[in-house]
Amino acid sequence: MVHQVLFIVFGLICVAGAINLLVQRHPINSALSLVVVMASLALIYLLLGAEFVAAIQVIVYAGAIMVLFVFVIMLLNAGAEERTRGSRIALFVGVPATVVLAGTVGWLLVHGSARLGGVSIGSSDFGETHAIARLLFRDFLLPFEITSVLILIAIMGAVVLGKREG
């Protein structure tokens, strides 16, 4: 029961933060509401027993990535969003298509809910760091090493792009 109440509370905070991201016209307000979304998602991960994922959600996403965003917003001195027309196709085709897609998925999930079953916490050793580490450094060793190469390439790309020309 407590689990359900906590899920509903944090889920509502999540959705409210995401809507606020869309409504705000100043990018710094959007960035801060995205931090709220990520923090409440971390709490939902904790409810699912994913302690490691919740920790790296806070450290990497809400910490590192959002600090990068806020830093760039402040560096570029970004003001409020201009109101321009934008793409007509995005407005009149993209938005209805997304509504239809989300509605279909939601309808299927609501009707298939009984067949899907539920999630539960309680199995104590699930989601612990040492189990993930064993999986990551044994079964997923090659992808792990490839992501380190990817990070290296991303760092070099960011340095080259950020360097002032001439």
Query: Interface residues for other proteins in 120-159 (CB under 8 A)?
Result: 120-121, 123, 126-127, 131-132, 135-136, 139-140, 143, 147, 150-151, 153-155, 157-159
Cα distance between residue 50 and residue 29, in whole Å = 29
The encoded tokens of residue 127 equal 């989601």
| 96 binds other proteins per the rule CB under 8 A | no
Note the helical H segments in 64-94.
66-75, 88-89
| 4 binds other proteins per the rule CB under 8 A | yes
* Binding residue for other proteins, selected from 2, 9, 34, 166, defined by CB under 8 A: 34
| 2 binds other proteins per the rule CB under 8 A | no
Q: Give yes or no for a contact between 157 and 82, defined as CB atoms under 8 angstroms apart.
A: no
* Binding residue for other proteins, selected from 83, 88, 124, 166, defined by CB under 8 A: 83
Q: If binding means CB under 8 A, how many residues of this protein chain bind other proteins?
A: 86
Cα distance between residue 156 and residue 24, in whole Å = 33
| 9 binds other proteins per the rule CB under 8 A | no
CA distances from 165 to 71, 73, 149, 159, 162 (A): 21, 21, 26, 12, 9
In the complex, the smallest distance separating the C-beta of residue 166 from other proteins, rounded to whole angstroms, is 11
Residues 6+ apart with CB under 8 A from 79: 26
In the complex, the smallest distance separating the C-beta of residue 9 from other proteins, rounded to whole angstroms, is 12
* Binding residue for other proteins, selected from 2, 39, 50, 142, defined by CB under 8 A: 50
In the complex, the smallest distance separating the C-beta of residue 144 from other proteins, rounded to whole angstroms, is 8
By CB under 8 A, what part of segment 53-72 binds other proteins?
53, 56-57, 60-61, 64-65, 68-69, 72
Q: Give yes or no for a contact between 39 and 58, defined as CB atoms under 8 angstroms apart.
A: yes
Q: Give yes or no for a contact between 35 and 16, defined as CB atoms under 8 angstroms apart.
A: no
